[in-house]
A and B are shown apart, each in its own frame.
Chain A
Amino acid sequence: GAVVSQHPSWVICKSGTSVKIECRSLDFQATTMFWYRQFPKQSLMLMATSNEGSKATYEQGVEKDKFLINHASLTLSTLTVTSAHPEDSSFYICSARPGQNTEAFFGQGTRLTVV
C-alpha cells in the first residue's frame, strides 16, 4: 500500500511553546490530508481536513488559531500546535489518500507530551 510518513514520532515540549508535526505522502500525491487526535483508550477524532493550496476545514470545537495547518504541496501537510498546554498532550495522527474514493493511509502518529 501507499506510504504516509509522519515526523516526529514523539516530542516533549514545555508549556507555552509551539510544536510542528509533519505529514508526508511518500509515493503518491494527496490534495487532501486529514489530522486526527486520539486520547488514551479513545477513538480517533477528526480535527481538520487539510486542503492543498487552500485553507483547512476544521471540525466543530477545534480552534483553528491554536492548531495551524499548512498544506503547501501535494505531498506535505504540517500541523502546528501553538502555545501548547498539558491538556494538548495526545497522540496526533495524519492520513492521506491517493484519490477521492480510495482507502486512507495513516502516518505512524506523533505522541505529544506537554510538560
Chain B
Amino acid sequence: GQNIDQPTEMTATEGAIVQINCTYQTSGFNGLFWYQQHAGEAPTFLSYNVLDGLEEKGRFSSFLSRSKGYSYLLLKELQMKDSASYLCAVRKLTGGGNKLTFGTGTQLKVEL
C-alpha cells in the first residue's frame, strides 16, 4: 500500500511564504503531484516532480527527495485566494499503468 502524510491544517499571513510538507512510502514511485482544491470544486494541477530537486512555477515551487520520500510545496507572496486545500498525490507504476493516490490534503487558511 501507500502512506502519504500531510499536515491537516496550516495558517499563514497574506504576503508571506508557506511550505507544505508531504511524506510518502511507496514502491514503483513514478512521480509526485501537487493539486489545489477549493471547496466543492475539482482539483487543479499545480506542480509535478519525478526527479530530485526543485521545480519552480511562478509563485509556486515544489521540491522532491526520492531517497527521503519527501516533498514540499512552497507558496510565495500569499494571497487570500490561495486559501484552499492542497493535495499531495503519488503516482505509482502498476501492472495496469500509472495510478495516482492522494494524501489527505492540507487545508491552508490565509489571513490578513
A residues near B, CB below 8 A? Answer: 1, 6, 32, 34, 36, 41-46, 49, 51, 57, 91, 93, 95, 97, 100-101, 103-109, 111
0/1 string, B22-35, CB within 8 A of A gives 1: 00000000110100
B40 near A93: Cβ-Cβ < 8 Å: no
Known A44-B102, A104-B100; contact A109-B45, beta-carbon cutoff 8 A:
no
B104 at the interface (CB under 8 A from A): yes
> Is there an interface contact between A101 and B98, defined as CB atoms closer than 8 Å?
yes
Q: Which residues of A contact B41 (CB under 8 A)?
A: 108-109
Question: Is there an interface contact between B43 and A49, defined as CB atoms closer than 8 Å?
Answer: no
Q: Are B96 and A95 in contact (CB under 8 A)?
A: no
- Smallest CB gap from B43: residue in A: A106
Offer 5 A-B interface pairs, CB within 8 angstroms, sorted by A. Answer: A43-B87, A100-B98, A103-B33, A104-B33, A107-B42
Set of chain A residues within 8 Å of B98, measured between Cβ atoms: 97, 100-101
Q: How many residues of B contact A (CB 8 A)?
A: 22
**Which listed residue, A41, A46, A107, A109, touches B100 by the CB 8 Å rule?**
A46
Most chain A CB within a 10 A radius of its CB, from B48, B96, B100: B100
For residue B87, which residues in chain A have a CB less than 8 angstroms away from its CB? 43-44
* Residues A43 and B42 in contact, CB atoms below 8 Å apart: no
Specify which chain A residues have a CB less than 8 angstroms from the CB of B43 in the assembled complex. Answer: 44, 93, 106
CB distance from B22 to the nearest CB of A (A): 12
How close is B4's CB to chain A, nearest CB, in angstroms?
A: 9
Beyond A106-B43, A106-B44, whether A51 also contacts B96 by CB under 8 A is yes
Q: A43-B104, A43-B105 are in contact. Are A106 and B42 (CB under 8 A)?
A: yes
